[in-house]
Amino acid sequence: MFVNKTHVYRFCFRFLPRISCNKRLSTQTTSSSEKIEDELHLEHTSDNFTRSIYDDHIQTSLLQKALLTIGSSVLSITDPYRHDMVAVLGETTGYVAAKQIKEKMTQDPEGSSILRDKPRINSDTLDYQFLESLPHGSLGHAYMAFLKDNNVTPDTRRPVHFVDDPELAYVIQRYREVHDLNHTLLGMPTNMLGEVAVKWIEAMQTGLPMCVAGALLGPVRFRKKQREKYLKYYLPWAVNCGSQAKFLMNVYFEKRWQQNIRDLRNELNIPDFPVES
């Protein structure tokens, strides 16, 4: 694909200053009645997320969202490691899927607790020493091992900017913050094979267009041996897991740190990964 990335970068980001300006203007012109309504809404939503999301929120029109979608999709395809563009694409295309995710969470006792409490997963909320002290085989200990082995932190997940509904913004933020926990729970590495397998499961369960695109387009970059493993082991397992496992967005991980990860997999009906021959 012959794409001048410099031109695309300019195309995508030339609108951000205008968007920020629109945000400031809209804030200045907000009527007192609208402010009262916003305050009442905030009182009914957990402060630990809703107030912070509006610090990061950037109001955009449909046209601006369309332009961001086009620019971020091109950049995501030409450079899959542009995680900032992947994040933008997820926000501008995920409205319908986020509503469906929220509905599934609302209908589940554990999922509705997550929506009510709005927990966050980052360095400010995690007790690393406690998680490391948990026994081998527990979810918390396995999660800490995953972070160390892959040299990542939960703080690498970008804040949501372009989702206008605070409840749906939290749903998208929650999806991002549990992604590494999904890797841990599923026992998938962070290489291309593992990432595509997790994307298949997330795509089947959440319907997020970004996940669907990752699942379908990710294998294009596989080498021959990777493609053989993918077709023989990873794809059948991922499809099976995505279809039969319980909805992973309903897992209140923060209340399950001490649970044995094997027991949790059985509870969630997650099939064992096939032994590679």
Extract the annotated binding site for Zn(2+). Answer: 179-180, 183, 195
Which segments are annotated as binding site?
Answer: 179-180, 183, 195
Q: Alpha-carbon distance 231 to 31, whole Å?
A: 57
Answer yes or no: are the C-beta atoms of 126 and 254 closer than 8 Å. Answer: no
Q: Alpha-carbon distance 223 to 203, whole Å?
A: 23
| Closest residue by Cα to residue 267 from 41, 252, 276 | 252
| Closest residue by Cα to residue 138 from 126, 127, 130, 148 | 130
Q: Which two tokens stand for residue 186?
A: 């599923």
User: What letters, b where the CB count within 10 A reaches 16 and e where it falls short, cover 57-90?
Assistant: bbbbeeebbebbbebbbbbbbeebebeebbbbbb
Cβ burial, residue 109 (10 Å; 0-12/13-18/19+): exposed
Answer yes or no: are the C-beta atoms of 142 and 181 closer than 8 Å. Answer: no
- Classified as helix, coil or strand, 260 is strand
Q: Alpha-carbon distance 241 to 231, whole Å?
A: 15
CB atoms within 10 A of CB 259: 16
* End-to-end Cα, the chain, rounded Å: 36
